[in-house]
Structure 1
Amino acid sequence: MINYTIASLPPWNAGEEYYGTYNGTVLSNNSYTDNNSGLALGQYIYLYISLLINILGLWWNGTVIWLLAFCIKRTPFTTYILNLSIADFGLIIVNHIWNILSLLGIPVPNPLLFSILFLIFLFLHSTGQFLLTAISIDRCVAVLFPLWHRCHRPPNTSTTVCASAWVFCFLSPAIHLTLDLANLKDGDILNIQFVLNGFLCLPLMTISALILFIKVCFKSQQRRQGKLIAAILLALLFFIICSFPLNALFITVFVLHSEPPSFLHYAFILACLNSSVNPLIYFLVGRQKRGRCMQNMKAILQNVFKEDENPSEAVEISLETQL
């Protein structure tokens, strides 16, 4: 039913060797297993660190999802954050399944299930990138054109953009899997997704981040929006450091048909770290530096995102900038 496995992409598979090809590239995960008796010490260390990151990420993202979905007034910007947290939550779940199977010594039953897990990982990884790109562009437009952003932007823009990101990122893995099940050549459909992730999202994020940094840090009138912009800039920074290396390796392996590097599993743990760290960014940026030492997460999120709920302040900033 399926003529290859992508078994080298997850960290390892409990001592069992998998071999397969993708577009002529031989993939193998036996680099990380010394024998069939179990996992090496370094593999156990990796798995336990990854499990810890996963547990914290599930807890933090789950808290953000609950609060934004049911406890905090919805705004166009929190719609983006809610969808990003859902994508991160799902990605961490997939990685958690891989780690649990490896730690318990349970091999993935068949190559098809293994490929499905990877395609779900790719789908959620790509969706998170497109959502973060949309967030950076939205804030960039809000800073450059605050009056238009507040008064003339279509009211359902955030919902439409989020839905489009989910659908678009779902198409490539779905088409790939459908053609695979039919034993048809996919025409390198996944390569398109890898190239878009690497050569579209990163430049747009970088340009938007530079504009936000320049406008906020060097324009005193814009510093009132510091918490929200700081959270976005930190999220973009962590993406470039933690998540983009996996994009580069995907392009190297699949598009350029290269051998998977031995440090590929570290790119996966960095991607999961990136998906886990955003709620921590919201907490650190939103907490009060003075006053109460303890704040609940709801108050902290409201403190971060309240700047998106005050249209009069945005208009005032724009008028001051023009004057």
Structure 2
Amino acid sequence: MGCFNKTEVLDTSLQLLNLVTAIPIFFFGILCNALALWVFCCKVKTRTDTTVYMINLIISDIMVLLTFPFRMYAYMHSWDLGSETCKALLTLYYINRYMSIFIITAIAFDRYIAIRHPLKFKHWRSPLKATIVCSVLWSVLTAIGVITVLQSKGYTLSTCFQKVTTEPLNLALVFVVVGFGIPLILLSYFSGHVLIILCSKETSEVSERRTIRKAMNIIISNLVVFVICFLPIHVGYTIRFVTDSLNSSCLMRERVNVYIHVATLLANSNCVLDSVCYFFVASEFWESMFAE
């Protein structure tokens, strides 16, 4: 007999946790991202590689947020909207979650070469090249997402957004390593080198020192937010893969599922926290926001 009731929705405490967290994330996420998209698309006059990356990051965050009402429904009711709808929503969710991760990494790389090699790799930085990078990412992630969800057997007709089988997902570790581990290493490397460069800058100008300190705080904040949002969920995926592979007890698997559920809420909060990038990283945002 399996460990999970395939028709059972989440218990009351997890449902309440969803309401308390998911509704504010959805509301403020849609509001902030819609405002940012309007500014970058309609108010920013000069298109740069940074604005291209930001627009794609905003779109990916909005796509994740649009799955929230269906996720809430799946958590509180037995899923009755059909398997094809479930697969489409899962594909949309995972494609855009990892799109956000890769774009954040691309922004860090762009910032790194702009500061570390401003002349040597200047030809690498342009709106066209940023568009090509984003297009390749969208294409690759869409293909992988569709194939993965179509082959996944962990979700049933009655439990969309919840894995209820005890069979290990063989691609889980691939997503942990390629979808999070490698981006984390790259992001840490780029951010660390930029911080070292900024720390080594010597200036007697108070305003310039203040600007450098602000830039360093932004870089550190972005890295911390990335780790806080995405590390717990990928640790959870790894633990679940191990427990499923070792045929652990039902109690252990249920505890892991609860942990993953809470970690998912934390990961989803990144859709709002990305607003830090819009408001503090891109100077074009505020300059265009109040432009006539």
Q: TM-score range by the shorter chain?
A: 0.7 to 0.9
* Higher RCO, Cα 8 Å, sep 6+: 2
Backbone CA RMSD of aligned residues: 3.2
Structure 1 contact 83–162 (Cα < 8 Å) conserved: yes
* Deviation readout 1:187-206 (Å, 9 max, x if unpaired): 94565333201321111111
For residues 214 and 27 of structure 2, the distance between their equivalents in structure 1, rounded to whole angstroms, comes to: 27
AA aligned opposite 1:266: V
Residue 266 of structure 2 aligns with an amino acid whose one-letter code is: L
Task: Please state how far the C-alpha of 1:83 moved relative to its aligned partner.
Answer: 0.7
Q: Does 1:93 align with 2:66?
A: yes
- Displacement of 1:148 in angstroms is 2.5
Q: 2-side partners of 1:194 and 1:45: how far apart?
A: 25
Contact 1:54 1:272 in 2 (8 A): no
- CA gap of 1:135–1:98, structure 2 versus 1, over 3 A, is same
CA contact (8 A) 1:88 1:275 kept: yes
- How far apart are the structure 1 equivalents of 2:173 and 2:278? 33
Aligned pairs (5 A) from 1:4-23:
17-18=5-6
2:92 to 113, 120, 135: 120
- Counterpart check, 1:79 vs 2:66: no
TM-score using structure 1 length: 0.68
Matched, 1:278 2:265: no
Give me the whole-angstrom Cα distance separating, in 2, the residues matched to 1:300 and 1:108. Answer: 47
**Which structure 1 segments of 5+ residues have no match?**
1-7, 9-16, 20-28, 34-39, 182-186, 288-296, 304-323
Distance in 2 separating the partners of 1:300 and 1:97: 37
1:84 to 1:210, Cα distance in 2 relative to 1, 3 A: same
Aligned-pair CA distance for 1:143: 1.1
* 1:243 equivalent among 230, 237, 243: 230
Where does 1:144-183 land on structure 2 (aligned, <5 Å)?
Answer: 144-150=116-122, 152-153=123-124, 155=126, 156-179=128-151
Q: How many residues align?
A: 256
* Structure 2: runs of 5+ lacking an equivalent: 154-168, 246-252
Residue identity opposite 1:274 in structure 2:
N
Quote the residue 1:217 is aligned against. 199
Which amino acid in the other structure matches residue 71 of structure 2? W
Matched position secondary structure for 1:220: coil
1:198 counterpart = 2:170 = no
| Cα displacement (A) at 1:233 | 3.7
1:124 and 1:169 map into 2 onto residues whose CA distance is: 8
Length-normalised TM-score, structure 2: 0.74
**Alpha-carbon contact 1:198-1:248 (below 8 Å) kept:** no
Q: 1:44 offset after TM fit, Å? A: 1.9
Deviation of residue 160 (structure 1)?
A: 1.3
Report which stretch shifted further, 219-228 or 72-81. 219-228
